[in-house]
Amino acid sequence: MHISEGVLPAGVLAAGWVILIILLIITIGWSRKKFGNISEKIPLIAVVTAAFFVACLFRVPVPPTSLHLVLSGLVGILLGPLALICIFIGLLLQALLFQNGGITVLGVNSVVMGLPAIIAWFVYKALLKKKNTAVSAGLASAFSIFLSTLLLAVVFLAAGIDFGSLNALADYASGIPVLSSIVSALAGSSFGLTVFLLFLMNLPLMIIEGIICAFIVPFIEKVKPEMLEEKIDGKNRTD
Partner 1 sequence: MAQFGIDSYLYAKNSPVHRMNPTTKVVAVLAMVISVAIVKDIYMATFALLLSFLMILIAKLPIKFVARRIWSPFLFILIFAAALLLSGGEGEILWSIGFLDITKESAMDAALILIRATSAIIMLTVLLATTRFDMIVKVLYDLKMPVFLLQILMFSYRYIFVFSDELENMKNSMTSKGFRPTLSMRMFSSIANMLGMLLIKSFERGDDVYRSMVAKGYTGKPTIITKNKMHAKDYAFVSVAIVVALAIHIPALVQSGILNSWI
Q: Which residues in this chain contact partner 1 in the complex, by CB under 8 A?
A: 2, 4-7, 9-10, 13, 28, 38-39, 42-51, 53-55, 57-58, 60-63, 66, 85-86, 88-90, 92-93, 95-100, 102-105, 161-164, 168-169, 171-172, 208, 211-216, 219-220, 223-224, 227
CA distance 173 to 177: 8
CA atoms within 13 A on the CB side of 79: 34
Instruction: Decide whether 129 or 192 has the Cβ nearer to partner 1.
Output: 192
N- to C-terminal Cα separation, the chain: 40
**CA proximity to 121, closest of 230, 237, 1, 234:** 230
Instruction: Decide whether 151 or 166 has the Cβ nearer to partner 1.
Output: 166
φ, ψ of residue 67 in degrees (nearest 5): -135, 160
- For residue 86, the minimal CB distance to partner 1 (Å) is 8
Instruction: Decide whether 160 or 185 has the Cβ nearer to partner 1.
Output: 160
Count of CB atoms within 10 A of residue 181's CB? 12
Instruction: Decide whether 129 or 187 has the Cβ nearer to partner 1.
Output: 187
- For residue 93, the minimal CB distance to partner 1 (Å) is 6
For residue 63, whether the previous peptide bond is cis, meaning omega lies within 30 degrees of 0, is no
- For residue 98, the minimal CB distance to partner 1 (Å) is 7
